[in-house]
Chains A and B, each alone.
Chain A
């Protein structure tokens, strides 16, 4: 009997665990280790953040689902990986620290035959002065990264609306904080949703909206922008982004690294060296992401963390991590099997794997501050990678040395993304995108780096219906209800 341990139960970890259990049955053991007791459909946190959904609508408890599926669930935080075992035994293991199940603060050694790192990101609020301490959100801004953060954001937003209703002019700033942030899409959705709600509440005229981001231009989204084919035209996502903002009266600050946040004030630095300052009454800034800080040790207990992980804490897999200039970046640099080059029984899925380099062109201010969006890894690639990793591990268990791995790189993977621009069955809107491939491949698609017949975007109420349908569909799938395997990642 093989024991497969999956660290993390987000989209990637949950997909890997559930497919492995389905394919391998009771002959092999699947263990999920996650510090969270609940699963969260993160894309809908935006709607919790504007009071249009409750927390209960976007989360559900994991324990009953895993019990039903026959998956061993450990509510614990993974601390360290020991891929060679230790002096006592050569059997690899991880150290975990319980955060629930009435075993809080107890440490345990968990042996594995196969290990999947799907731990997602650590929200690094502490990387920006005043934004928070370490992974804890500070008091000056809000966040929509977790369901609890989104609840808090809505409380603050409603208070700001009350002031605007009383005739007090308010200023909203939404975007990214650190120069290397990713997840611009979530901030983009949030600013459009807050603006939409301000219109609904009849307070829009008393609120000024401003976008701040590390993107070189609007519509970059950490993907080096997009060229969208639509009705015979090919248009840059820059035009779409600017059009959406101009229509709503939202001004923007780009190429920005927020260096300091204080009460109702932030300072930023731009790529051209300009230093700026903005005042605000309500701000939501996405924090920088890094790996969760797992440590790794060899059998002699020597620290091998830097061999398994990149300096940003994300796991090295089968990508080409050689440092090279932008002009030499290739689609083939991107990993495809997500297997650790050092330990063949370790994989990383979702946000936990280290991208070889950004997708957007790197930029630096004259002071040396890096202002380059990190590549996004949204739900669809995370799920697709999670399933591919599950297929590879299944093959390795069932076929032994002859097993072939399943491979799909983000340079040969498409993504569907629906960005909400407001809630409402008739008055809601969303921008629906398809992108192919996610990572630009200039050898295959000279000019734009992507297939413009498959890269597409449009806005309308139908986008909102699709986003709402996806909310229910993916929660249904994650709960492993009848026919869940038929719903694609």
Chain B
């Protein structure tokens, strides 16, 4: 369980942005997360391809 009570009286926390309940619940929505995981997988493949492409002979 994540603490529900956010304490913005703590000076360090004043200048930031914290997701609300809906945004937090979306982090655990299986369907949405499967889609996001697929996109992250594609991004990762892109990085791997770039690394292979950038390796050159010298």
- Chain A interface (Cβ within 8 Å of chain B)? 199-200, 202, 204-205, 239, 242-243, 245-249, 251-252, 336-337, 384, 388, 391, 404-408, 412-416, 426-427, 429, 432, 434, 436, 454, 456, 458-463, 465-466, 488-489
User: In the complex, which residues of chain B have a beta carbon less than 8 angstroms from the beta carbon of A462?
Assistant: 33-34, 36-37, 40
Q: Are B43 and A407 in contact (CB under 8 A)?
A: no
- What's the least CB distance linking A242 to chain B, in Å? 4
User: In the complex, which residues of chain A have a beta carbon less than 8 angstroms from the beta carbon of B37?
Assistant: 462, 465-466
User: In the complex, which residues of chain A have a beta carbon less than 8 angstroms from the beta carbon of B51?
Assistant: 384, 408, 413-414, 488-489
User: In the complex, which residues of chain B have a beta carbon less than 8 angstroms from the beta carbon of A204?
Assistant: 1, 3
- Add 7 more A-B contacts to A249-B6, A415-B47 (CB < 8 A): A247-B2, A247-B6, A404-B58, A407-B57, A408-B55, A427-B28, A466-B40
Q: Are B15 and A242 in contact (CB under 8 A)?
A: yes
User: In the complex, which residues of chain B have a beta carbon less than 8 angstroms from the beta carbon of A454?
Assistant: 43, 46-47, 50
Known: A414-B47, A415-B47. A243 touches B1 (CB 8 A): no
User: In the complex, which residues of chain B have a beta carbon less than 8 angstroms from the beta carbon of A415?
Assistant: 47
Known: A243-B17, A458-B36, A466-B37. A434 touches B44 (CB 8 A): yes
A and B contact pairs by CB, cutoff 8 A, 10 listed: A200-B1, A204-B1, A243-B18, A246-B10, A246-B16, A247-B6, A405-B58, A414-B51, A429-B27, A466-B41
Smallest Cβ-Cβ distance to B15: which chain A residue: A242
Smallest Cβ-Cβ distance to A384: which chain B residue: B51
Q: Are A246 and B57 in contact (CB under 8 A)?
A: no
The docked-state distance in angstroms from the alpha carbon of A489 to that of B46 is: 13
Of B10, B19, B32, B50, the residue contacting A243 (CB under 8 A) is B19
User: How many pairs of A and B residues are in contact by the CB < 8 Å rule?
Assistant: 119
User: In the complex, which residues of chain B have a beta carbon less than 8 angstroms from the beta carbon of A436?
Assistant: 47, 50
Smallest Cβ-Cβ distance to B27: which chain A residue: A460
Smallest Cβ-Cβ distance to B5: which chain A residue: A249
User: In the complex, which residues of chain A have a beta carbon less than 8 angstroms from the beta carbon of B34?
Assistant: 462
Q: Are A239 and B27 in contact (CB under 8 A)?
A: no
Q: Are A408 and B28 in contact (CB under 8 A)?
A: no
The docked-state distance in angstroms from the alpha carbon of A3 to that of B18 is: 57
The docked-state distance in angstroms from the alpha carbon of A246 to that of B15 is: 10
- What's the least CB distance linking A414 to chain B, in Å? 4
Smallest Cβ-Cβ distance to B32: which chain A residue: A460
Smallest Cβ-Cβ distance to A200: which chain B residue: B1
Closest 3 CB pairs of A and B: A462-B37, A414-B47, A462-B33
Interface residues of B in 16-36 (CB under 8 A from A): 16-19, 24, 26-28, 30, 32-34, 36
Known: A199-B1, A434-B47, A454-B43. A249 touches B7 (CB 8 A): yes
Smallest Cβ-Cβ distance to B36: which chain A residue: A462
The docked-state distance in angstroms from the alpha carbon of A307 to that of B19 is: 52
Q: Are B47 and A416 in contact (CB under 8 A)?
A: yes
Q: Are A337 and B58 in contact (CB under 8 A)?
A: yes
Smallest Cβ-Cβ distance to B11: which chain A residue: A251
- What's the least CB distance linking A438 to chain B, in Å? 10
Q: Are B18 and A246 in contact (CB under 8 A)?
A: yes
The docked-state distance in angstroms from the alpha carbon of A405 to that of B24 is: 48
Smallest Cβ-Cβ distance to B1: which chain A residue: A199
- What's the least CB distance linking B49 to chain A, in Å? 9
The docked-state distance in angstroms from the alpha carbon of A407 to that of B54 is: 8
Of B6, B16, B26, B30, the residue contacting A239 (CB under 8 A) is B16
Smallest Cβ-Cβ distance to A409: which chain B residue: B54
